[in-house]
Structure 1
């Protein structure tokens, strides 16, 4: 699954996003592209669970195709 996070601007943001995703699924693969403000998550967990923790961490996300 892939998300766009408009306010993800730096390495610190990327680290926080990764930490939030791993709080739902510690084994998830996480690929972050700061240039496109996107994160790709490899997990069998529900997309809404990730969107919820990202929102709670201050990184509202939008699903991407």
Structure 2
């Protein structure tokens, strides 16, 4: 089951790729799905919220916690 998080600042496919790649580097086995319209990122694979936060903020976006 995926955990969904609010992510601010994503406006395009490039933003989605940046967030997906950043999470993938810190959690290589994670499945990441970005919903630009909703401003959310769903992460599957048992990744800790702190890891997602670190990846999102490291990519230059605002982590808004669980959606």
Corresponding pairs, count? 65
TM-score (norm 2): 0.86
CA drift of 1:45 comes to 2.6
Distance in 1 (alpha carbons) for counterparts of 2:49 and 2:43: 9
> Which residue of structure 1 lines up, in the alignment, with residue 56 of structure 2?
54
CA offsets 1:39-61 (integer angstroms, 9 cap, x no match): 10002231101101211110121
TM-score (norm 1): 0.88
- Larger % of strand: which? 2
In the alignment, structure 1 segments of 5+ residues that lack a partner are none
Gaps of 5+ in 2: none
Secondary structure of residue in 1 paired with 2:65: strand
Q: CA RMSD in A?
A: 1.2
